[in-house]
Amino acid sequence: MQNNPPIISLKNVHKYFGDFHALRNINLDVEEGQKIVVCGPSGSGKSTMIRCVNGLEQHDEGTIMVNGHTMSSDEKIGNLIRQEVGMVFQSFNLFPHMKVLDNLTMAQRMVRQKTKAEARDTGMKLLERVGIAAQADKFPSQLSGGQQQRVAIARALCMNPKVMLFDEPTSALDPEMISEVLDVMTELARDGMTMICVTHEMGFARSVADRIVFMDQGEIVETGEPETFFANPAHARTRAFLDQIISH
């Protein structure tokens, strides 16, 4: 199994915001094709950790390797990594002044140097895949939250990434729209995408994740396969957290 080096590898990573120690000695390896779910209370550093993976935040100590490159503050290396790592945000962040299809084609043309026709082709295929090809010529504000988030996933997939990062992709959605986004993510997982998902959707975690990472106060408290993680959490902090989110 361990023939290939992990596609993502965090070693002794620390991150500070001023005096606040946001990440404490994070160690995490992700193999190609693995699905990792990261959970934990708010402020535990989950988002910060995945934002360090694609360099949206700069880590202060330790090493982060992504797809063979060592993350640094050098913009060129950061971009090289980001080109292969897709990211989906809690607040969708679709470019509001561009139509849906243009949201999908812009980076393809600028970063991948595709022609307009190629980019539109890829864009339409991915919109079909997430089930919203009919909305291609609308503006993001005309779409529901769930549709916008699916567009955002399609936009990231347009770049043909090796890894997808999800930063609480369903937290800003109305309850009835959560499943349409999770369905897309589940399908993506089935297709073999390497994924790191920060989410509180435990049903999704149980069915999709290879490993669940529990974070609290900036450190990884516990890592485990879903069955053991839910049935038999090793740490009291994990148990307390699970009790809280499952009691509702």
Instruction: Give the footprint of other proteins on this chain (CB under 8 A).
Output: 54, 56, 75, 79-80, 82-87, 89, 91, 93-98, 106-107, 110-111, 138-142, 152, 155-156, 159
d(CA 127, CA 216): 36
* Least distance in angstroms from the C-beta of 211 to other proteins: 23
* Least distance in angstroms from the C-beta of 65 to other proteins: 18
**150 or 155: CB nearest other proteins:** 155
Q: Residue 153, CB half-sphere, CA atoms under 13 Å: how many? A: 30
Question: What type of residue sits at position 244?
Answer: Q
d(CA 24, CA 65): 17
* Least distance in angstroms from the C-beta of 141 to other proteins: 4
* Least distance in angstroms from the C-beta of 204 to other proteins: 22
CA distances, 27 to each of 83, 120, 209 (Å): 23, 40, 18
**98 or 242: CB nearest other proteins:** 98
d(CA 201, CA 209): 11
**34 or 135: CB nearest other proteins:** 135
Q: Which of 35, 38, 71 has its CA nearest to residue 56? A: 71
Strands, E, within the chain: which ranges? 8-17, 20-30, 35-39, 61-66, 69-70, 85-88, 163-167, 194-198, 211-216, 219-224
**20 or 95: CB nearest other proteins:** 95
**135 or 238: CB nearest other proteins:** 135
